Amino acid sequence: MKIGFVGLGHMGGPMCANLLAAGHAVRAFDIVPANVERAVARGAVKATSVADCVAGVEAVVTMLPSSPHVRSVYIGEAGVIAHARAGTLLVDSSTIDPLTAREVAFDAAARGLPMVDAPVSGGTAGAEAATLTFMVGGAERDFEAAKPLLACMGRNLVHCGAIGNGQVAKICNNLMLAIGMIATSEGMALAAKLGMDPKVFAGIVNTSSGRCWSSDTYNPYPGVLGNAPASRGYSGGFGADLMLKDLGLATEAARTAGVPVLAAALAQQLYQKHSADGHGGKDFSSIILQYLKAAP
Amino acid sequence: MKIGFVGLGHMGGPMCANLLAAGHAVRAFDIVPANVERAVARGAVKATSVADCVAGVEAVVTMLPSSPHVRSVYIGEAGVIAHARAGTLLVDSSTIDPLTAREVAFDAAARGLPMVDAPVSGGTAGAEAATLTFMVGGAERDFEAAKPLLACMGRNLVHCGAIGNGQVAKICNNLMLAIGMIATSEGMALAAKLGMDPKVFAGIVNTSSGRCWSSDTYNPYPGVLGNAPASRGYSGGFGADLMLKDLGLATEAARTAGVPVLAAALAQQLYQKHSADGHGGKDFSSIILQYLKAAP
Amino acid sequence: MKIGFVGLGHMGGPMCANLLAAGHAVRAFDIVPANVERAVARGAVKATSVADCVAGVEAVVTMLPSSPHVRSVYIGEAGVIAHARAGTLLVDSSTIDPLTAREVAFDAAARGLPMVDAPVSGGTAGAEAATLTFMVGGAERDFEAAKPLLACMGRNLVHCGAIGNGQVAKICNNLMLAIGMIATSEGMALAAKLGMDPKVFAGIVNTSSGRCWSSDTYNPYPGVLGNAPASRGYSGGFGADLMLKDLGLATEAARTAGVPVLAAALAQQLYQKHSADGHGGKDFSSIILQYLKAAP
Amino acid sequence: MKIGFVGLGHMGGPMCANLLAAGHAVRAFDIVPANVERAVARGAVKATSVADCVAGVEAVVTMLPSSPHVRSVYIGEAGVIAHARAGTLLVDSSTIDPLTAREVAFDAAARGLPMVDAPVSGGTAGAEAATLTFMVGGAERDFEAAKPLLACMGRNLVHCGAIGNGQVAKICNNLMLAIGMIATSEGMALAAKLGMDPKVFAGIVNTSSGRCWSSDTYNPYPGVLGNAPASRGYSGGFGADLMLKDLGLATEAARTAGVPVLAAALAQQLYQKHSADGHGGKDFSSIILQYLKAAP
């Protein structure tokens, strides 16, 4: 299959490599020339612009850092929608706000271009190992069409309903994840300060009603889970600043939807504080440091 | 075994009945005479005071509504500690603050009375079916001594470490539970308002990093789980006002311990608002109504 | 002076009328034709587009609802910057985010167009009575140049420093105002519920360290101040949804600036809840209703 | 007048001295002997117990650190109520929760002892200079009776209504003060980070709707007000840990009254964090450090 790929950064680079490894013909573009060279070294054809990247392809995959980037790549005279030929399948794997995803898809549909939003979870490790989870929004037919492509880059392909719902699923999941991590941090820090052994407490919670992914799989208290980032100085994992970005998307989507999200807004500010304190590059479970300074 | 039981309300009543059903000889006391009569009808001996209740018994079990009640039942000239004979095992199943639990146990120890704190989860249904979970704090030996007794009233007996840790485990678990329920409420309400099918969203979250007990076992969105309180008008279950009480204990314990608990304090205030709005008697998952008013 | 005026709504309409009343020649444009007709009836020249509106004028005044509107009116081939002749003074009185204000002014400067941002406070009543306060950002020289114009529409002209600072002053003031109103609401509701006469409590606070504009000038408790919106069913005044908009700008500016604003984010969510509950059209002091439901 | 004084610490010591300086005969008691000696050196009669302190006096003044201390000094066989002769006027200047104040006064009334609660503001400097403000709760007649006494120790005597209302006024004022200080901190930090001169911004706010005591009299941004604690490293003033104590009383009173206080609970947790970070001994305006770490 002939594919145009735009956005070859930490995530897009290995995703593109996996498409190449699966035998697809890929035209690759990025505003950073070195990123394009790296793709070319793996077998991609160098494209010199978005228009050049999507010329003659059957599908386009994009992996971009934010909504404005997605708008500028897709919309306008130099964009994907203006240059892709009718029928080309568009797959945007960026994490952006659902409204933008829907607006871009609306413009695409007007030009006969089917589109799905397909944000991922799994991080750079998942991108490299082709084990990403894709949360896909779009028509059933378009989801089916995208499947073979996505299957080269990931393992779990989840259809979330109509266009934009991939983004909704991702940001609402991460909203719950951030609050759950903060809940776990407060519970663990308090139990420890009140005299309980953190491992014993985690063991009880994890078989009780307080359990969550952050407590049983990714516990933020150092030493409770040997393979969690908490047990290696909060290195690796999912960066606090990435969580901060997703909380920004979630609260902004809630603002436009008119839904009060008090706990999510608190979580956003706590991660903002954490980032301002210099911890934005650590794994997001390091938020417990805001509490442990007080605890031990 | 000869047991004195103080506190025969919604929880204590059936717990006492289960001790009787298991063949123990129970002296029963409550400040409400009708509660005593009910115990007597099941085979208990009527006691006319705390002192009378603990006269000659080998163990005392108490189930009281709050810390001041526990203090007044145990401490002072008319209390358990003054009247129980040395060596009597004291088991307090009330949910109270850990500091009070430790202070009372300290006084008891000074009189040669071993004590464990053993708060429960499982609600009135669990009390009646003898399927409660006991979170037990105290010396290993005392935990072992309490086991046969507790086993008549519950199914899971969890040793949490030293005295007071039963309370710590319970209130810290419930702190995490309350925040998790609010996280789930915000995530579900937002996803639904943004256009996703709540069941589809719950399905995705429950296999992803946003999952928690409140999302996969007790989902607050009506219709997502057929057997959850959300699907029967938030009747039954664990009352919002009981959660409010436990959040009060958690934030108060955090205050004395010097641990900031920002999300728990927000949760407490949201449940306070919920109660003030007249929903205190509903299951605690009804907190989602604070968000759904906005959503549909 | 020849002036082009874009944006003739509830605020812009009377502001334009005051410029006309002061003897200026005004070309008027709005996307709603009826708004233009109303300006024409007061003496304005009808403009058929932004380009037509700014043709040959010495100054341009704009009063628009949000950042995207400001961008689309100023930037692009059909915008103010493309069509105003060099040296025309640009005055934007919209309340928008400071970054957009600075970006637009940067583009204007590149075309030789001096610009100030000049958001207002005072509401529609101030707009009609020409008693608005203008918070002005821009070079000293441009502020001086704008003064005669602004003086036709308002009473207080405050120079806040460089371009964008008018917006900074407004949104940061309103951030403090919103939190102060919530603080007053909590203090008044709690004092009343604990048994104090609200007027007596307000009297004490207003001569003590708890005083603020919301307590001594605009008290939200009904009956404390006879002329406050609280004493006439929260009608008139500054709408809760307008405060919600400004809190959105403040938290978004804080996000981009990397400053955690925990209380402002809570205020935003409380106003979001208030709006979702159907109170968005009431004066912003009606936020106390979120507390009084519980109090009386 | 013959007066018994219990509690001779940082506040009570100088208050007692001022009563002596005004010519009253004072019997003085404190659990710290050195405090009693200091009072004796100024002319007080040494009392060896609470009972001894109130023997034969016409009025009793107490200044104690918390509710449990007040209970233990007033109630029980060794307490003030048991030993003061009928008709003795009781004045408690401790800052405690209103419910305890009312309970103690209720017991006192049953023994024919009129009582007022009279917490103060003004700090140790005000105690020494006899310039304290007294917020007094109690019957009009008892307030009048207390006036001559209070006038020896303070300048402003404010009658707040029935017994307990002195406490209500104080904790609700301080609730508003704490939130106002946080509002000012967020507004100042954000305005500065967005590029405004802090003094210019403060000047604008202080003539606008965002003004409050914390912005115009006690501004937390260093250098804005030369005589504020912010301009001398946050030394002196009203300690952050004292504000934390008052927020604890306010949120606890709100809990028992069933009033949700979301912003006050956030303020409490921020001061808890501030204290845990080691800043509890600084002036309470130092809370801005939680924001400025991010700002400069």
Q: Which residue of D has its CA nearest to C270?
A: D262
CA angle C88, C89, C92 (to 5 degrees): 130
Question: Any chain C CB within 8 A of the CB of A206?
Answer: no
Residues of chain A found within 8 Å of residue C250, distances taken between Cβ atoms:
none
Chains that touch A (3 or more CB pairs under 8 A): B, C, D
* Nearest-angstrom CA–CA distance, D238 and D247: 13
User: Does C268 sit within 8 Å of A265, measured CB to CB?
Assistant: yes
User: Does D255 sit within 8 Å of B248, measured CB to CB?
Assistant: yes
Bridge partners, D133 (sequence order)? D121, D156
Query: pLDDT band at D123, cuts 50/70/90?
Result: confident
List, in order of start, the domains of chain C with CATH numbers: 2-162 (3.40.50.720), 167-292 (1.10.1040.10)
CB pairs under 8 A between B and C: 16
From B293's Cα to the closest Cα of chain C, the distance in A is 7
Residue D293: pLDDT above 90?
A: no
Per-residue pLDDT tens over the stretch A31-46:
999 999 999 999 999 9
So which residues of B are the catalytic ones? 170
User: Does B273 sit within 8 Å of C290, measured CB to CB?
Assistant: yes
* Nearest-angstrom CA–CA distance, C211 and D268: 19
Query: pLDDT band at B229, cuts 50/70/90?
Result: very high
Of A180, A197, A259, Cβ closest to residue B212: A180
Residue D79: pLDDT above 70?
A: yes
User: Does C252 sit within 8 Å of A252, measured CB to CB?
Assistant: yes
List the strands of the sheet with C132-136, edge to edge. Answer: C120-121, C132-136, C154-159
Predicted pLDDT at B123 = 87
Residues of chain D found within 8 Å of residue C133, distances taken between Cβ atoms:
208
Predicted pLDDT at B294 = 47
Bridge partners, A45 (sequence order)? A27
Of D179, D186, D217, Cβ closest to residue C175: D186
- Residue D99, H or E segment: helix D98-110
Per-residue pLDDT tens over the stretch A58-95:
999 999 999 999 999 999 999 999 999 999 999 999 99
**Among residues 76-105 of chain B, which lie with CB inside 8 Å of chain A?**
98
Predicted pLDDT at B258 = 96
* Nearest-angstrom CA–CA distance, D234 and D255: 32
Predicted pLDDT at B129 = 95
Among C2, C170, C199, C293, the active-site one is C170
Predicted pLDDT at D295 = 43
Interface test with C, best of B261, B287, B288, B293 (most C CBs within 10 A): B293
C-alpha radius of gyration, chain C, whole number: 20
Per-residue pLDDT tens over the stretch A241-254:
999 999 999 999 99
Question: How many residues appear in chain A?
Answer: 296
Residues of chain A found within 8 Å of residue C270, distances taken between Cβ atoms:
260, 262
Predicted pLDDT at A296 = 41
In sequence order, which residues have a C-beta less than 8 Å from that of residue B80 and are 6 or more positions away?
B4, B6, B50, B54, B60, B62, B73, B74, B90, B108
What's the whole-number average pLDDT of chain B? 96
Predicted pLDDT at D183 = 98
SS3 A55: coil
Contact, D90 vs D116, CB < 8 A? Answer: yes
SS3 B147: helix
Q: Which residue of D has its CA nearest to C250?
A: D190
Per-residue pLDDT tens over the stretch D183-210:
999 999 999 999 999 999 999 999 999 9
* Nearest-angstrom CA–CA distance, C285 and C293: 14
Strands C59-62 and C89-92, bridge-based pairing: parallel
Contact, B212 vs B183, CB < 8 A? Answer: yes
Among residues C45, C166, C55, C73, the alpha carbon closest in space to that of C117 is found at C166
CA distances from B170 to A190, B65, B145, B272 (A): 12, 15, 21, 20
Query: pLDDT band at A17, cuts 50/70/90?
Result: very high
User: Does C270 sit within 8 Å of A261, measured CB to CB?
Assistant: no
CB pairs under 8 A between A and B: 238
CA angle A241, A223, A132 (to 5 degrees): 45
Question: Any chain B CB within 8 A of the CB of C276?
Answer: yes
- ipTM of predicted complex: 0.94
C-alpha radius of gyration, chain B, whole number: 21
* Nearest-angstrom CA–CA distance, D251 and D256: 9
Q: Provide the CB-side half-sphere exposure for D40 (13 A, CA).
A: 12
Beta strands in chain A (DSSP E): 2-6, 25-29, 45-46, 59-62, 89-92, 115-117, 120-121, 132-136, 154-159
User: Does D161 sit within 8 Å of C196, measured CB to CB?
Assistant: yes
What's the whole-number average pLDDT of chain D? 96
* Nearest-angstrom CA–CA distance, D190 and D123: 31
Of A164, A180, A263, Cβ closest to residue B195: A164
Among residues B114, B163, B106, the alpha carbon closest in space to that of B142 is found at B114
Among residues A274, A220, A265, the alpha carbon closest in space to that of A242 is found at A274
* Nearest-angstrom CA–CA distance, B235 and B216: 19
User: Does A135 sit within 8 Å of B253, measured CB to CB?
Assistant: no
Please list the pLDDT of chain C residue by residue as tens digits (296 residues). Answer: 999 999 999 999 999 999 999 999 999 999 999 999 999 999 999 999 999 999 999 999 999 999 999 999 999 999 999 999 999 999 999 999 999 999 999 999 999 999 999 999 988 889 999 999 999 999 999 999 999 999 999 999 999 999 999 999 999 999 999 999 999 999 999 999 999 999 999 999 999 999 999 999 999 999 999 999 999 999 988 999 999 999 999 999 999 999 999 999 999 999 999 999 999 999 999 999 999 964 44
**Among residues 36-55 of chain A, which lie with CB inside 8 Å of chain B?**
none
Q: Running DSSP on this structure, what letter comes out for residue D287?
A: G
Left (φ > 0), alpha (ψ -120 to 50) or beta: where does C268 sit?
Answer: alpha
* Nearest-angstrom CA–CA distance, A22 and B236: 54
* Nearest-angstrom CA–CA distance, B183 and D182: 26
Residues of chain C found within 8 Å of residue B189, distances taken between Cβ atoms:
none
Question: Any chain D CB within 8 A of the CB of B25?
Answer: no
Q: In percent, how much of chain D has pLDDT > 90?
A: 96
Q: Which long-range contacts (CB under 8 A, 24 or more apart) does B234-238 make?
A: B234/B279, B234/B282, B234/B283, B234/B285, B234/B286, B234/B289, B235/B282, B235/B283, B236/B283, B237/B123, B237/B283, B237/B284, B237/B285, B238/B123, B238/B283, B238/B284
Predicted pLDDT at A289 = 97
Establish whether D170 is a catalytic residue. yes
Predicted pLDDT at A236 = 84
Predicted pLDDT at C236 = 84
Predicted pLDDT at A123 = 87
Of C259, C265, C276, Cβ closest to residue A266: C265
Of C262, C272, C273, Cβ closest to residue A255: C272
Residues of chain D found within 8 Å of residue A276, distances taken between Cβ atoms:
293-294
Query: pLDDT band at B254, cuts 50/70/90?
Result: very high
Predicted pLDDT at B295 = 43
Among A170, A193, A273, A293, the active-site one is A170
Query: pLDDT band at D78, cuts 50/70/90?
Result: very high
Question: How many residues appear in chain C?
Answer: 296
Contact, C223 vs C258, CB < 8 A? Answer: no
Predicted pLDDT at B238 = 93
Interface test with A, best of C66, C103, C262, C287 (most A CBs within 10 A): C262
* Nearest-angstrom CA–CA distance, B252 and A153: 49
User: Does D259 sit within 8 Å of B272, measured CB to CB?
Assistant: yes
Q: Which residue of B has its CA nearest to C295?
A: B276
Of C158, C186, C204, Cβ closest to residue D135: C204
- In this structure, what token pair is assigned to residue C175? 């951030």
- In this structure, what token pair is assigned to residue D123? 């700090």
What's the whole-number average pLDDT of chain A? 96
The identity of residue C89, as a single letter, is L
Residue D245: pLDDT above 90?
A: yes
User: Does A266 sit within 8 Å of C254, measured CB to CB?
Assistant: no
Interface test with D, best of B66, B249, B251, B279 (most D CBs within 10 A): B251
pLDDT average, residue stretch B118-139: 94
Of D269, D275, D276, Cβ closest to residue B265: D269
CA distances from A219 to A122, A198, A280, B214, C227 (A): 17, 10, 18, 18, 55
pLDDT average, residue stretch A16-25: 98
The identity of residue D272, as a single letter, is Q
Residue A295: pLDDT above 60?
A: no
* Nearest-angstrom CA–CA distance, A285 and B34: 52
Residues of chain B found within 8 Å of residue D175, distances taken between Cβ atoms:
none
User: Does A262 sit within 8 Å of C273, measured CB to CB?
Assistant: yes
